[in-house]
Chains A and B, each alone.
Chain A
Amino acid sequence: MPALASVFQRDSAAYRRRGETRAFIRRALRGYEQKRDENKARFQDWQAARDAAAAIKHEAIEHLDRCLPEFIEKIEARGVKVFVAANGVRAKDYIIGVIRRHGAKSIVKSKSMTGEEIHLAQALEGEGFEVVESDLGEFIVQLRHEAPFHIVFPAMHLKRDEISRLFEEKLGSAPTDSPEELTMIARRAIRQKYCEADIGISGVNFAVAETGAIAMCTNEGNGRLTTSLPRVHIALMGIEKLVPRMDDLALLLPMLATAGSGQHLTCYNTILSGPRQPGEPDGPEEFHLVIMDNARTTLLADAQQRDALQCIRCGACLNVCPVYKNVGGHAYGTTYPGPIGSVITPHLRGLQSWKHLSGASSLCGACTDACPVKIDLHHHLLHNRRNAVRQHKTWWELLLFQGFGWVAADARRFALAGWIGRLAQPLHALVAGTPLDPLKPWTRFRALPEPPPYAFRDWWKERRGAEGGAHD
């Protein structure tokens, strides 16, 4: 088994034993489901809204060759310095260049999954800059030197006592079991940083082609502070963040909030169209926007799975995925966990190395139902599996399926094989639990079904014979 797949198996096996954490996360997600359903019910027609949202993003992606240049032209006209980066290295080099040019030392950052993808914070720290993650969840996992557990709620896996101990150790704060007090501790720690930071780095939720503006959704207000106080603002986005019109935000903003966090609307939906303008009392003097490909065009080229680029990073698919709930965000071993991660990671990072994520699913389809932009998520997992096999077939699977195919090609052969299997099953008891047990993956956790005395086809044949062929 390839290395990454073994790591996944090991990590998911370990997580399975953390029954308490899994139960805790299930409870949190049940609360989310309730609020989400309340807000979905407020929509006059949630399914029509999904259709429209899918159509909006489809339009942007399908016409990205037009939308993206249009967006860049418009936003550059507003004084934003745009840098299009082919990959993460180019994006980081540019950002580091900007920071160096300004002689900056301290950087405050609001949430960016695209930034996580290219390990931006680590790269900047490596260059000797101080980087403060202002989003509370990101702040917490940064202190723990850990990757985010969930794309919207990075510290979802931690209980308050763990967070308190973390703050006691790293910030010297007093122990507390109140989420409110813990939030205040973080607020105080970060507040000074906003006022002192030279550079603010933010993510982007939507990039509006019509006007040349970016939209950013946060609940905490850290996105606002990051982009208001420091004198230089750098925003990072993937090429797929485009939406055609401002009007489209009227639909996408509430859908993002409802699907992602069960809110009707995120607290601060901020639309930024440029640096500080003449006549404005404050705001960054320079606004840089880095627009990154980093293998998104590979996914774009796969017409069947192109809709995966419609993703608005709401996290709804993670929230409903039973696999995600039972392996945890870290086991995926990559920036984007959950169903969307399992679909896109093979495209972004290599099919053969990452196909196991597409395999680690029962294809229940809860993700596809939950997706506000109607990405055909669980079917794409099948597509990835097919594509991986087209490139490379394992000898034993080929043997297995060709063998099974041969048996199934003849009804009597099939019936005979089944009869032998049922007959031989009691023999399994001899090897059960030992290294020789061929059914170990099953029998480790589950009893085998009792073999019935006859197959359906036997019963049917006998009955037909008894009734003289009346039911043919």
Chain B
Amino acid sequence: MTDDRALVFARIREALQTPRPLHGHYDGLPGPAPAENGKGYAAWLPRVEDTPSGRLLAFRERSELLKTELVVATRAGLAGTVQALQQRHGWKSAAWHRTRLTETAAGAAGLPLLSTDQAYETAALERVDASFTGCDALVAQTGSVLLTTRSAGGRALSILPPHHVVFAEASQLIADLPAAMRLLRERYGNDLPSMICLETGPSRTGDIERILVLGAHGPKKLTVVLVE
């Protein structure tokens, strides 16, 4: 079926023959032009102190509000941390993909594991209790996990199981959304993973009486393990 792009493009060109200048309405003030590379936006977005401790503080604050479980671990103590989490949450099975950190986690958890590094059955993934993934970054300003198909083992791993556990290095904690966009550009250039996601807390809905409920369709729990 050939589409209508020629027609629609022609309509657009014709419609735009009369320009509309940018202007405010009653204040009559013109708006500022968008800043290059997004650096300008940071000046208006919520402030984050761009130091390791400042970023950690902001991420911790956001996580509390979002009900994300934030666990800080040492590299040496990571296995112990994972075992403690496993006990607390009572996982009986997990799914994962291989990163340096998730490998340690997977080893420590002592659970039957499903890997998405090779072909897997969706029905099997649907049955596991938790998923262990890496990420591209953690965003302090919003408490988000920036992940892609490449850093988090595909599309379904981080969204289908009811508990998503993210393993991140402390150096992956960046300040804000403009920094996240810069990171994507620097890391991937034009070779974008087919899915990128800013995951901000456990899944939620406000559709019933605008009351917040966690765990709508995506994971009901989100744990971020930050390894120093």
Contacts and interface: CB of A to CB of B under 8 A. Distances in A.
Question: Do the two chains touch directly in the complex (Cβ atoms below 8 Å apart)?
Answer: yes
Nearest to B31: A51
Given A65-B13, A228-B159, A281-B154, A195 B122 contact: yes
**Residue from A155, A250, A303 whose CB has the most chain B CB atoms within 10 Å:** A250
Contact of A222 (B184, B202, B216): B216
A246 B19 CA distance: 25
Nearest to A271: B196
A270 B217 CA distance: 15
A154 B22 CA distance: 33
Interface string A21-49: 00010001101100000000011111011
Contact of A374 (B25, B184, B204, B208): B25
Given A85-B4, A156-B210, A271-B195, A249 B181 contact: yes
Interface in B82-125: 97, 116-120, 122-123
Q: How large is the interface on B (under 10, 10 to 19, 20 to 34, 35 or more residues)?
A: 35 or more
Interface stretch (B43-51, B71-79, B165-173): B43-51
A82 B1 CA distance: 11
B149 A283 contact: yes
A307 B24 CA distance: 11
Contacts of B192: 78, 211, 213, 271, 273-274
Nearest to A85: B4
Interface in B114-150: 116-120, 122-123, 126, 142, 144, 149-150
Max chain A C-beta neighbours (<10 A), residue from B35, B176, B181: B181
Interface of A: 24, 28-29, 31-32, 42-46, 48-52, 54-56, 58-59, 62-65, 68-69, 72, 78, 82-86, 90, 93-94, 97, 134-137, 140, 153-156, 158-160, 163, 179-180, 182-184, 186-187, 190-191, 194-195, 211, 213, 219-222, 224-225, 227-229, 239, 244-251, 253-254, 261, 264-277, 280-283, 291, 293, 297-298, 300-301, 303-304, 306-307, 368, 374, 376, 379
6 contacts: A28-B210, A55-B34, A222-B216, A250-B41, A253-B177, A268-B197
Interface of B: 1, 3-5, 7-9, 11-16, 18-20, 22, 24-25, 29, 31-35, 37-38, 40-47, 62, 97, 116-120, 122-123, 126, 142, 144, 149-150, 153-157, 159-160, 176-178, 180-182, 184-185, 190, 192-211, 213-219
